[in-house]
A and B are shown apart, each in its own frame.
Chain A
Amino acid sequence: MVIYTYGVIDSKDTIDETIFGLEGAGVYNVSYRDIGVAVSELGEKMQEITDTNVLKHEEVIETLMTKFTVLPIRFSTIFNTKEELLLIVEFYYQDFKDNLDRLRNKVEFGIKVMWPAKIIKQRIAEVYNKRKFTVSIMADSPGKTFVKEKFEKHIIEKEFEEEAVRCIAVVDDYFNKIASERKIKKLQTENLLLNAAYLVGKDKQDDFKKAFEQLKSTPSDLKFLFSGPWPCYNFITLTKKPSSADYFNAEHMLNRLLAQQGLPERVQHDHEPRYLTGMNGGF
C-alpha cells in the first residue's frame, strides 16, 4: 500500500464529499496543522501515464478546487507511508502556506500561439534582399559565398527573434493588465511562438476570456490555443530546497514529528538510509 498525493489544500478537516481517485480509491485528507494533503491509498507504486490516470489526477484536483484552495501536486508523487508524507509537509509548511495564500481565489489560463515560422523567415529574407544590404562581399569565390550566406542566415535569425519578441509583446498586452502573474516561454519550437500561463483572479475570468476573443478576432497569421481555467500548476514557487538530506535522514527528526502527531516512536528494523529520493517509491 502506498500514499498517492493529488494536492495540498487549505484545510485540516475531513473532506465531506466522496471523491474517487486513481484505481477507484477514495480521496481523504492527511492534515498537518491547519493545512492538508488530499491522498488516496493505492496498491501500485507506479502509476503509468495513461489518458485515464492523468485525467483522473486532474479531475480529483478540479473537484477539490470547488471547495478548497489547491496546490496541485505533480502526477505520480507517491509516499511509502503517511509519516514520510507528513515529514515533507512539515518541511515545506511555510512554503505551502505562502502559496495557498497567494493563489487563493485564482485560476490559471493557458495561451499558446503558433506562427508560420517559414513564412515569417521568407518575409524577413525578402525585406533583407530589397534593402540590398551590401556588405561589400562579392560572391565571386566559394569562400566569400559561404561567409555571405552565413551572414545572411545570422541576420535573418536575429530579426526572427526580434520579430518574436515584438509579436509576444502585442499578444501579452491583451492579458497582462487582467492577470496578476504570468509565465512566458518564447519559441520553444520555431512554430510555437508563445507558450504562456496567466494567473487570473476568479472574478476576472470573463474579462480574460473577452480579451482572448478580441485578440482572436484581430486579423493575423497567428493561431491560438486557449485553455482553462486550470489549477495553478505553473505558479507554485517553493523556496525551501531540500539541499541537505540530513533533514530527512535523521531518525530523531522523524520521531519528533511522530511525537507531535501523538504517534508512537518508529523503530527502524533495517539499515536503509532515509534519503529524500527514497521516499518516492524507492527510486
Chain B
Amino acid sequence: MRTLILLGCALLLTSCSSGRSANTGVYMLIDTSGTYREEIQKAEQIIRYALTRLDATDSFAVARVDTGSFSEKDIVAKITFDDRPSSMNRQKRLFAEQVQAFVDDSRSSQYTDITGGLLQAVEFLNEKQPAEKTVLIFSDLKEDLQDGYVRDIAIDLEGFQIVALNVTKLRSDNVDPREYLDRLEMWRSKVEKSGGNWRVINDLDGLEGLL
C-alpha cells in the first residue's frame, strides 16, 4: 500500500514538473569589410526572415564583422524573446528597426576578423544556453586580420550549427576558382574539427530550412 502511495506521488510530481519547450539561439555575423558591405541589404532580408521564424524564449543577436570582432561593441542588436505573444511581437518590431538603422548607417571596415566574431558568437550563445545553437556567417569568408591579432585559437563548437550565407566569389576567385573552393574547405574542416556542423547556403531564395 505504501509503495502504491509513493508511486502515485512520484507520478503526480513527474506530471506536475514544469519545464520549457526547446528554444533556439541564433547569432548572425555580418561582414562589413570592403566591397562586401554592398551585400548588407541581403543580410537585412535574412534577419527579417529569421525574426519570422523565431519564437518565444528564443535568443537572437546580430553583430558586425570588422577589424576586431571579438567584442560586445560589435553586437548591433540582441534580444531574448518574451514568453507572451504580444510582447514578443513588439520586440520583433523593435529589433527590425534597430537592424534597419544599422543597415542605413553601417560603414565599411578595413579588415575582416571572422574568427573573432565566431568566438564572440560562441560566448554569447553559451551564456544563453539555448537547446539549439546556430551561428549565421554572412560573409565571403575571406579573413583578413590586422597585424598583431591572434586568432589561431581552438574553438569548442560542439552542438553548434555554423551556416555560411551568401559566400560570394571574389575577383581573384574567378581567376582561380581553387581559391574559393580552398576557402570553403578550410572553414568546413575548421568547424568540423571543432565539433560543429557546417553548412553553406548561397541561394537566398531557399532559406526555408535555415531555422
Asked if A and B are interacting partners, one says: no
Which residues of B are interface residues toward A (Cβ below 8 A)?
none
Which residues of A are interface residues toward B (Cβ below 8 A)?
none
